[in-house]
Amino acid sequence: MIIHYNTASFNPKKPVILTPGTFDGVHFGHQKILKILTDTAKEKNMESVVLTFSPHPRKVLFPDGKPLFLINTLDEKIEQLKKHGVDHLIIYPFTLDFSRISALEYVRDFLLNELKVSKLVIGYDHQFGRNREGDFNYLKELSPLYEFEIEEISAQDINEVNISSTKIRKAILNGDIETANEYLGYQFSITGDVVEGKKLGNTIGFPTANIQPTSNDKIIPKNGAYAVSVTVDSKQYGGMLNIGHNPTVSSDQTQHIEVNIFDFNQNIYGTDITVYFIKRLRDEKKFESVDELKQQLADDALLAKQFV
């Protein structure tokens, strides 16, 4: 997959079939669209192209609105898209000026003249142009005039359950990791640097790696304990992870992400690690004593090992 951070480097040698979208999560619904895109490209000897935007349009259009936390960082999105056989990924800078072009200018000047699109594949709810004035019906009107093909993927074609990035974000925020993973088609993950913590875990026999996510825009699951798998230096380990404030042993209200890696004893401060969420074990709670907390952690470890 060739990655383009602007359109100047995009020089297709064959007719272009393109699908546009934010693709946050590259979830199961997105994957159905990508399969149709790449299968059609092979069948008709075309170049398959995904057009996405950075930053996320909502961050540009509503900078003072409710914060939008994303399922994927840009790097994670790229890695997921690489798995689906796409020829080109265009990561186009989304600006206020770009958001103000009309639906006609977006199709005629940007997609057709600049990106040389011969066929568009879009999801059932795709909208575009100033004030989201363009949709599938508008594209059907323009198609014979400007001689391009258009294919819409219906919600029924994607799944009987209407999958969306919004629903997945909601599941993650509610701690419903199993539903999120089902919709994603893979395990939700967080990558981050291992940073110095208070080392409270060492004092109770459950040492943890304190993770600082690599992106401030990354969505964080609901506070609680989770069964996870952990990648450290390309090696995979089982583990249990806690998100929260450690109320039994600390009055600090800062949210922490800490993972206890099973059968692991290495100094990994300053190392990037990735945790993959498998199952939520329980809510975070304040225990009456440290001994009660230690017993709960031992129980959590036994339970987590059934899933990792």
Domains of the chain: 2-166 (3.40.50.620), 187-304 (2.40.30.30)
Determine the pLDDT at residue 163: 82
In the sheet where 47-54 sits, what is the strand order?
Answer: 2-4, 88-93, 47-54, 16-20, 117-123, 149-153
Mean pLDDT calculated for residue range 175-181 = 97
Using DSSP bridges, classify how beta strands 2-4 and 47-54 pair: parallel, antiparallel or unpaired: unpaired
Per-residue pLDDT band at 203 (split at 50, 70, 90): low
Q: Residues 219, 69: contact at Cβ < 8 Å?
A: yes
Per-residue pLDDT band at 49 (split at 50, 70, 90): very high
Determine the pLDDT at residue 201: 58
Residue 126 backbone dihedrals phi, psi, to 5 degrees: -70, 130
| Helical H segments across the chain, by residue range | 28-44, 57-61, 74-82, 96-99, 103-105, 136-146, 155-158, 165-173, 177-184, 200-203, 290-304
Beta-bridged to residue 53, according to DSSP, are: 92
218-252 pLDDT tens trace: 999 999 999 999 999 999 999 999 999 877 767 67
CA atoms within 13 A on the CB side of 5: 3
First to last CA, the chain: 32
Here the tokens at position 202 are: 């060492």
Mean pLDDT calculated for residue range 195-208 = 73
Amino acid identity for residue 205 in this structure:
G
Least confident of 181-190, 234-243, 249-258: 249-258
